[in-house]
Amino acid sequence: IASSVGGSPTTTYAENIGVMAATRVYSTAAYYVAAFVAIAFGFSPKFGALVSATPGGVLGGITVILYGMIGLLGAKIWRENGVDFGNPINLVPLGAGIVIAIGNTELQVTDDFTLGGIALGTIVVLVFYHLSRAIAPTHLRDPDPGTLIAVGEPGVHGEDDDPRASYEGQADHGQTRGDDVGHDGLRREVGERRDSDDDRRGNIGGGGSHRGDPT
């Protein structure tokens, strides 16, 4: 769109990702409105002069926070996808790419074309990652699933979520029920013995009266 009206070609900026993380607003409608407002302000020279008058320290503080959030969001994506940084296939290309991007290393391709910074770091990561997978041994390309760290589901886990605690609770509950059943059986047995003794005494007493009866 910019080129069609005589402007220079543009691209999306990573700062937008940091803004979304800071404001917690991910609605596309809100960014449509922000885009149209930015386009409208682009026709106002006074707004451009206001942005240019912003002190460099203020813009520097904003960019520090935004770029820090961008980096943390990238680390969050690695963590959620379970990237194994103990594997050299993942560790070496990533380390090289980060150092090249942060160090703003430049590669002079032609007299008029230079690669540097984040662009060069990204290319290094992609090229070296796929090259490492192509030449790496099988045990590094396809690690044993048993060697990976098991990560539980996110959330708050209580004592009831511990299977050992649940098993122990069931065992204690079963033991308590067993004790109750044992006590009930003992009481029932004692009661039956008492009833049997009473019946025996009644039979003996009744038999004595019958034998003592002259009729």
Which value, in Å, is the radius of gyration of the alpha carbons in the chain? Answer: 40
Quick one: pLDDT band at residue 33, thresholds 50, 70, 90?
Answer: very high
Across 19-28, 93-102, 117-126, 187-196, least confident range: 187-196
- The full DSSP string for the chain is -TGGGT-------THHHHHHHHH----HHHHHHHHHHHHHHHT-HHHHHHHHTS-HHHHHHHHHHHHHHHHHHHHHHHHHTT--TTSHHHHHHHHHHHHHHHTT-EEE-SSS-EEEHHHHHHHHHHHHHHHHHHHS-HHHHS--GGGSPP---SS---GGG-HHHHHHHHHHHHHHHHHHHHHHHHHHHHHHHHHHHHHHHHHHHHHHHHHH---
Give the model's pLDDT for residue 208.
47
What are the residue boundaries of the structural domains of the chain, listed by start? 1-81, 84-145, 161-212
Each residue's pLDDT tens digit, 86-127: 888 888 888 888 898 888 888 888 888 888 888 888 899 999
Give the model's pLDDT for residue 211.
45
Q: At residue 46, does pLDDT exceed 50?
A: yes
How far apart CA 128 and CA 21 sit, in angstroms, is 30
Across 4-13, 36-45, 85-94, 138-147, least confident range: 138-147
| Residue 82 backbone zone (phi > 0: left; psi -120 to 50: alpha; other: beta) | left
Give the model's pLDDT for residue 212.
46
Each residue's pLDDT tens digit, 52-95: 888 888 888 888 887 888 788 888 888 888 888 888 888 888 88
